[in-house]
Chain A
């Protein structure tokens, strides 16, 4: 996965440049419109990560790691899970059970909505970060000398 990977392929590069913003936007749509249409944190996270992986495949691993450094991704993966747990604990402080969103606002429905949106955000962040981490770990390894192939 050197920076030269596929660099002469102008159709791929232009096509990817057109597609990637749309994929990212669609991921955010799936994330935040998940209460009304199919989707949610898992799907959005995967789609978001897939867009970044596509970028890495076409423009090289170094380019993407300059934009999305691995250390930041690791931090985000932990932050997503922490966000989920902290919502649960917030509900406990607000007087309910763990992850009982009803108590997060004066109106139970509003509380549920806030809780769901926030935990889905946590899920999305964690899933996207972990998938990107997996990709970095696999793609960042040096090519071993092959036996006869």
Chain B
């Protein structure tokens, strides 16, 4: 929480990037505490690793200091943020308690997943069998989203080899 606030407040983008990395690492530790090791692996590798490197390489292209523009705060914006935040917090009050066995999420299909999937799929890790078999189409969608995102970046930014091709072939060093 403190790290997140620091990320918003700090003007030096390099430090903000580092703080984001720390935030991701803390989130990963939190996921491990909640027994969501799959998510923690992803968060640690994506949030703390790769996305920070991408941010840094984007920083290389720009400046590392945020421009201060128009520090006049709008009262209307504050009001909208407060109302939205309040509504969201009000919404969480209806949520079931943590680890409540009667929660709706534990009633619908998850008994079948947790009780029958080792027999039906023959794979001990239920996360994998839900992800890849019961929800195979959703996972296909995710993969296609990732693929399309990669294609989009390629179209916008180029392949990364494009610039080097312009140099003479004998010119090994930049």
Contact = CB atoms under 8 A, between A and B. Distances in A.
Contacts, number: 179
Contact of A38 (B122, B127, B129): B127
Interface in A85-134: 85, 88, 98-99, 101, 108-110, 112-113, 115-116, 119-120, 122-123, 126-127, 129-131, 133-134
B122 A109 contact: yes
Contacts of B143: 80-81, 84, 122-123, 126-127
Interface of B: 37-38, 41-42, 45-46, 49-50, 53-54, 57-58, 60-65, 120-125, 127-129, 131-133, 136-137, 139-140, 142-144, 146-147, 149-150, 153-154, 157-164, 173-174
Interface residues of A, number: 67
A40 B128 contact: yes
A9 interface: no
Contact of B157 (A88, A109, A141): A141
A77 B154 CA distance: 12
A25 interface: no
Nearest to A82: B147
Given A43-B41, A46-B42, A133 B122 contact: no
A142 B173 CA distance: 14
Interface of A: 1-3, 30, 34-40, 42-43, 46-47, 49-50, 53, 57, 61-62, 65, 69-71, 74, 77-78, 80-81, 84-85, 88, 98-99, 101, 108-110, 112-113, 115-116, 119-120, 122-123, 126-127, 129-131, 133-144, 146-147, 149
